[in-house]
Structure 1
Amino acid sequence: MREFSRTDRVGEQLAHELAQLIQREVKDPRLGMVTVTSADVSRDLGYADVHVTLMGENDPERIRENLAVLKRASGFLRSRVARTMKLRHVPELRFHFDESVSRGHALSSLIERAVQSDRDRAPEEDDEDSERRD
Protein backbone atom coordinates (compact mmCIF):
# COMPACT_ATOMS: atom_id res chain seq x y z
CA MET A 1 0.00 0.00 0.00
CA ARG A 2 1.33 3.42 -0.99
CA GLU A 3 2.14 5.87 1.76
CA PHE A 4 0.72 9.35 1.46
CA SER A 5 3.38 11.82 0.42
CA ARG A 6 3.98 14.97 2.39
CA THR A 7 2.33 17.11 -0.28
CA ASP A 8 -0.78 14.89 -0.13
CA ARG A 9 -0.99 15.27 3.65
CA VAL A 10 -0.42 19.04 3.49
CA GLY A 11 -3.02 19.36 0.71
CA GLU A 12 -5.61 17.40 2.69
CA GLN A 13 -5.04 19.45 5.84
CA LEU A 14 -4.99 22.69 3.85
CA ALA A 15 -8.34 21.86 2.20
CA HIS A 16 -9.85 21.08 5.61
CA GLU A 17 -8.55 24.31 7.18
CA LEU A 18 -9.63 26.45 4.23
CA ALA A 19 -13.13 24.96 4.22
CA GLN A 20 -13.59 26.02 7.83
CA LEU A 21 -11.97 29.43 7.40
CA ILE A 22 -13.98 30.36 4.30
CA GLN A 23 -17.20 29.39 6.03
CA ARG A 24 -16.46 31.16 9.32
CA GLU A 25 -14.07 34.03 8.60
CA VAL A 26 -14.73 35.43 5.11
CA LYS A 27 -17.50 37.99 5.55
CA ASP A 28 -17.93 39.18 1.95
CA PRO A 29 -21.67 39.17 1.12
CA ARG A 30 -20.93 38.38 -2.55
CA LEU A 31 -19.48 35.03 -1.57
CA GLY A 32 -21.94 32.16 -1.99
CA MET A 33 -21.97 28.73 -0.39
CA VAL A 34 -18.41 27.61 -1.18
CA THR A 35 -17.26 24.04 -0.72
CA VAL A 36 -13.56 23.18 -0.88
CA THR A 37 -13.24 19.90 -2.76
CA SER A 38 -9.45 19.52 -2.80
CA ALA A 39 -6.11 21.26 -2.58
CA ASP A 40 -3.20 20.17 -4.78
CA VAL A 41 0.09 21.35 -3.32
CA SER A 42 3.23 21.68 -5.43
CA ARG A 43 6.23 19.56 -4.49
CA ASP A 44 8.15 22.57 -3.18
CA LEU A 45 5.06 23.81 -1.24
CA GLY A 46 5.28 27.09 -3.16
CA TYR A 47 1.66 27.13 -4.24
CA ALA A 48 -1.58 25.23 -3.78
CA ASP A 49 -4.35 24.88 -6.36
CA VAL A 50 -7.52 24.95 -4.29
CA HIS A 51 -10.58 23.51 -6.05
CA VAL A 52 -13.98 24.81 -4.95
CA THR A 53 -17.61 24.31 -5.90
CA LEU A 54 -20.52 26.67 -5.38
CA MET A 55 -23.76 25.25 -4.11
CA GLY A 56 -26.56 25.92 -6.58
CA GLU A 57 -24.45 28.19 -8.79
CA ASN A 58 -23.87 27.37 -12.45
CA ASP A 59 -23.83 30.91 -13.82
CA PRO A 60 -20.31 31.65 -15.18
CA GLU A 61 -20.51 35.28 -14.04
CA ARG A 62 -21.33 34.28 -10.43
CA ILE A 63 -18.54 31.71 -10.50
CA ARG A 64 -16.03 34.35 -11.67
CA GLU A 65 -17.25 36.77 -9.00
CA ASN A 66 -16.86 34.17 -6.24
CA LEU A 67 -13.38 33.22 -7.46
CA ALA A 68 -12.42 36.91 -7.48
CA VAL A 69 -13.62 37.27 -3.87
CA LEU A 70 -11.57 34.24 -2.85
CA LYS A 71 -8.53 35.57 -4.71
CA ARG A 72 -8.80 38.88 -2.84
CA ALA A 73 -9.13 37.01 0.45
CA SER A 74 -6.23 34.65 -0.28
CA GLY A 75 -3.68 36.70 1.69
CA PHE A 76 -5.98 36.78 4.71
CA LEU A 77 -6.70 33.05 4.39
CA ARG A 78 -3.03 32.26 3.98
CA SER A 79 -2.13 34.17 7.15
CA ARG A 80 -4.90 32.39 9.09
CA VAL A 81 -3.73 29.01 7.80
CA ALA A 82 -0.19 29.87 8.92
CA ARG A 83 -1.45 30.17 12.49
CA THR A 84 -3.00 26.71 12.55
CA MET A 85 -0.68 24.63 10.35
CA LYS A 86 2.91 24.08 11.42
CA LEU A 87 4.67 24.89 8.16
CA ARG A 88 7.79 26.92 7.56
CA HIS A 89 6.25 28.31 4.38
CA VAL A 90 2.50 28.38 3.68
CA PRO A 91 1.77 27.85 -0.03
CA GLU A 92 0.36 30.63 -2.19
CA LEU A 93 -3.34 29.93 -2.72
CA ARG A 94 -4.77 29.74 -6.24
CA PHE A 95 -8.52 29.12 -6.42
CA HIS A 96 -10.16 27.18 -9.27
CA PHE A 97 -13.75 26.17 -9.91
CA ASP A 98 -14.19 22.39 -9.74
CA GLU A 99 -16.47 21.39 -12.60
CA SER A 100 -16.41 17.69 -11.75
CA VAL A 101 -19.50 17.94 -9.53
CA SER A 102 -21.62 19.65 -12.19
CA ARG A 103 -20.31 17.22 -14.82
CA GLY A 104 -21.26 14.35 -12.54
CA HIS A 105 -24.80 15.67 -12.17
CA ALA A 106 -25.12 16.11 -15.94
CA LEU A 107 -23.88 12.59 -16.63
CA SER A 108 -26.15 11.16 -13.96
CA SER A 109 -29.20 12.84 -15.48
CA LEU A 110 -28.22 11.58 -18.95
CA ILE A 111 -27.97 8.04 -17.63
CA GLU A 112 -31.32 8.34 -15.86
CA ARG A 113 -32.98 9.59 -19.06
CA ALA A 114 -31.46 6.73 -21.08
CA VAL A 115 -32.66 4.15 -18.54
CA GLN A 116 -36.14 5.69 -18.48
CA SER A 117 -36.23 5.69 -22.29
CA ASP A 118 -35.33 1.99 -22.30
CA ARG A 119 -38.06 1.27 -19.76
CA ASP A 120 -40.62 3.19 -21.82
CA ARG A 121 -39.62 1.28 -24.93
CA ALA A 122 -39.55 -2.16 -23.26
CA PRO A 123 -43.35 -2.65 -22.95
CA GLU A 124 -43.78 -1.79 -26.63
CA GLU A 125 -41.19 -4.38 -27.62
CA ASP A 126 -42.84 -6.99 -25.37
CA ASP A 127 -46.19 -6.37 -27.12
CA GLU A 128 -44.56 -6.77 -30.55
CA ASP A 129 -42.85 -10.01 -29.48
CA SER A 130 -46.12 -11.50 -28.19
CA GLU A 131 -47.92 -10.55 -31.43
CA ARG A 132 -45.24 -12.30 -33.50
CA ARG A 133 -45.61 -15.49 -31.45
CA ASP A 134 -49.41 -15.60 -31.95
Structure 2
Amino acid sequence: MRKNSLKNTRINGEVQRALAEIIRGGIKDPRISPLTSVVSVEVSPDLKTCKAWISVLGEEEALKSTLAGLKSASGYIKNQLAKEINLRNTPEITFIMDQSIAYGVNMSKLIDEVNKDGSKEEE
Protein backbone atom coordinates (compact mmCIF):
# COMPACT_ATOMS: atom_id res chain seq x y z
CA MET A 1 0.00 0.00 0.00
CA ARG A 2 1.43 3.36 -1.00
CA LYS A 3 1.72 6.05 1.65
CA ASN A 4 -0.85 8.38 0.08
CA SER A 5 -3.19 5.77 -1.32
CA LEU A 6 -6.93 6.23 -1.11
CA LYS A 7 -7.21 3.43 1.44
CA ASN A 8 -4.55 4.97 3.67
CA THR A 9 -6.21 8.39 3.43
CA ARG A 10 -9.53 6.85 4.46
CA ILE A 11 -7.92 5.02 7.39
CA ASN A 12 -6.22 8.26 8.54
CA GLY A 13 -9.57 10.08 8.57
CA GLU A 14 -11.34 7.28 10.41
CA VAL A 15 -8.61 7.00 13.05
CA GLN A 16 -8.63 10.80 13.51
CA ARG A 17 -12.40 10.83 14.04
CA ALA A 18 -12.26 7.91 16.48
CA LEU A 19 -9.34 9.41 18.43
CA ALA A 20 -11.15 12.72 18.78
CA GLU A 21 -14.22 10.93 20.17
CA ILE A 22 -12.17 8.82 22.58
CA ILE A 23 -10.20 11.81 23.89
CA ARG A 24 -13.30 13.99 24.19
CA GLY A 25 -15.61 11.50 25.86
CA GLY A 26 -13.80 8.37 26.93
CA ILE A 27 -10.89 9.50 29.07
CA LYS A 28 -11.55 10.66 32.62
CA ASP A 29 -7.98 11.84 33.34
CA PRO A 30 -8.12 15.38 34.86
CA ARG A 31 -4.73 16.22 33.34
CA ILE A 32 -6.20 16.18 29.84
CA SER A 33 -7.54 19.60 28.89
CA PRO A 34 -11.13 19.77 27.61
CA LEU A 35 -9.83 22.06 24.83
CA THR A 36 -7.85 19.26 23.17
CA SER A 37 -8.28 18.58 19.48
CA VAL A 38 -6.81 16.03 17.09
CA VAL A 39 -5.38 18.10 14.25
CA SER A 40 -4.04 15.33 12.03
CA VAL A 41 -3.31 11.61 12.03
CA GLU A 42 -0.83 9.65 9.95
CA VAL A 43 -1.07 5.85 10.07
CA SER A 44 1.84 3.93 8.57
CA PRO A 45 1.04 1.78 5.52
CA ASP A 46 1.60 -1.44 7.51
CA LEU A 47 -0.84 -0.23 10.24
CA LYS A 48 1.74 -0.76 12.99
CA THR A 49 2.33 2.86 14.06
CA CYS A 50 0.35 6.05 14.12
CA LYS A 51 1.38 9.67 14.67
CA ALA A 52 -1.36 11.86 16.08
CA TRP A 53 -0.86 15.63 16.14
CA ILE A 54 -2.68 17.10 19.13
CA SER A 55 -3.46 20.76 19.76
CA VAL A 56 -4.34 22.14 23.17
CA LEU A 57 -5.67 25.63 23.65
CA GLY A 58 -4.22 27.11 26.82
CA GLU A 59 -0.95 27.86 28.53
CA GLU A 60 2.24 25.80 28.45
CA GLU A 61 1.35 23.88 31.63
CA ALA A 62 -1.90 22.62 30.05
CA LEU A 63 0.08 21.39 27.04
CA LYS A 64 2.53 19.41 29.15
CA SER A 65 -0.09 17.89 31.44
CA THR A 66 -2.34 16.92 28.52
CA LEU A 67 0.55 15.23 26.72
CA ALA A 68 1.49 13.35 29.90
CA GLY A 69 -2.13 12.28 30.42
CA LEU A 70 -2.45 11.06 26.83
CA LYS A 71 0.79 9.10 27.04
CA SER A 72 -0.31 7.41 30.26
CA ALA A 73 -3.71 6.55 28.74
CA SER A 74 -2.27 5.28 25.45
CA GLY A 75 -3.08 1.65 26.30
CA TYR A 76 -6.70 2.50 27.01
CA ILE A 77 -6.89 4.63 23.86
CA LYS A 78 -5.46 1.80 21.74
CA ASN A 79 -7.98 -0.64 23.26
CA GLN A 80 -10.91 1.68 22.54
CA LEU A 81 -9.62 2.32 19.02
CA ALA A 82 -9.49 -1.44 18.39
CA LYS A 83 -13.12 -1.75 19.51
CA GLU A 84 -14.27 1.16 17.36
CA ILE A 85 -12.32 0.52 14.14
CA ASN A 86 -11.94 -2.93 12.66
CA LEU A 87 -8.36 -3.00 11.38
CA ARG A 88 -6.01 -5.94 10.88
CA ASN A 89 -3.55 -4.34 13.32
CA THR A 90 -4.32 -1.63 15.83
CA PRO A 91 -1.49 0.91 15.56
CA GLU A 92 0.73 2.10 18.41
CA ILE A 93 -0.10 5.78 18.84
CA THR A 94 2.54 8.47 19.27
CA PHE A 95 1.18 11.85 20.36
CA ILE A 96 2.90 14.95 18.98
CA MET A 97 2.07 18.51 20.03
CA ASP A 98 0.92 20.76 17.20
CA GLN A 99 1.04 24.48 17.86
CA SER A 100 -0.66 25.57 14.63
CA ILE A 101 -4.06 26.45 16.17
CA ALA A 102 -2.48 28.45 19.01
CA TYR A 103 -0.16 30.11 16.50
CA GLY A 104 -3.15 31.06 14.31
CA VAL A 105 -5.06 32.52 17.26
CA ASN A 106 -2.00 34.53 18.29
CA MET A 107 -1.48 35.85 14.75
CA SER A 108 -5.16 36.80 14.55
CA LYS A 109 -4.83 38.84 17.76
CA LEU A 110 -1.72 40.58 16.42
CA ILE A 111 -3.46 41.43 13.14
CA ASP A 112 -6.48 42.80 15.00
CA GLU A 113 -4.19 44.97 17.15
CA VAL A 114 -2.41 46.36 14.07
CA ASN A 115 -5.76 47.07 12.36
CA LYS A 116 -7.06 48.80 15.49
CA ASP A 117 -3.91 50.95 15.76
CA GLY A 118 -4.09 51.79 12.05
CA SER A 119 -7.69 52.95 12.28
CA LYS A 120 -6.85 55.21 15.26
CA GLU A 121 -4.04 56.90 13.29
CA GLU A 122 -6.39 57.63 10.36
CA GLU A 123 -8.82 59.57 12.56
TM range (shorter): 0.7 to 0.9
Which ranges in structure 1 are unaligned for 5 or more consecutive residues?
124-134
Structure 1, 8-17 or 35-44: larger mean CA deviation: 35-44
Identity %: 29
User: Per-residue CA shift, 1:2-43, capped at 9, x if unaligned?
Assistant: x96222211111111111112222111222212222212223
RMSD over aligned CA atoms reads 1.8
Q: Which residue of 2 aligns with 1:46?
A: 48
Structure 1, 43-52 or 76-85: larger mean CA deviation: 43-52
- The answer as to whether partners of 2:19 and 2:38 remain within 8 angstroms in 1 is yes
TM-score (norm 1): 0.79
Give 1:98 deviation, angstroms. 1.7
- The answer as to whether partners of 2:56 and 2:62 remain within 8 angstroms in 1 is no
Name the structure, 1 or 2, with higher relative contact order (CA <8 Å, separation 6+).
Answer: 2
Letter of the structure 1 residue corresponding to residue 16 of structure 2: A
Q: Which residue of 1 aligns with 2:62?
A: 62
Task: Determine helix, strand or coil for the equivalent of 2:87.
Answer: coil
The verdict on how the C-alpha distance between 1:4 and 1:113 changes in structure 2, with shifts beyond 3 A counting, is farther
How many residue pairs get aligned? The number is 119
- The answer as to whether partners of 1:7 and 1:45 remain within 8 angstroms in 2 is no
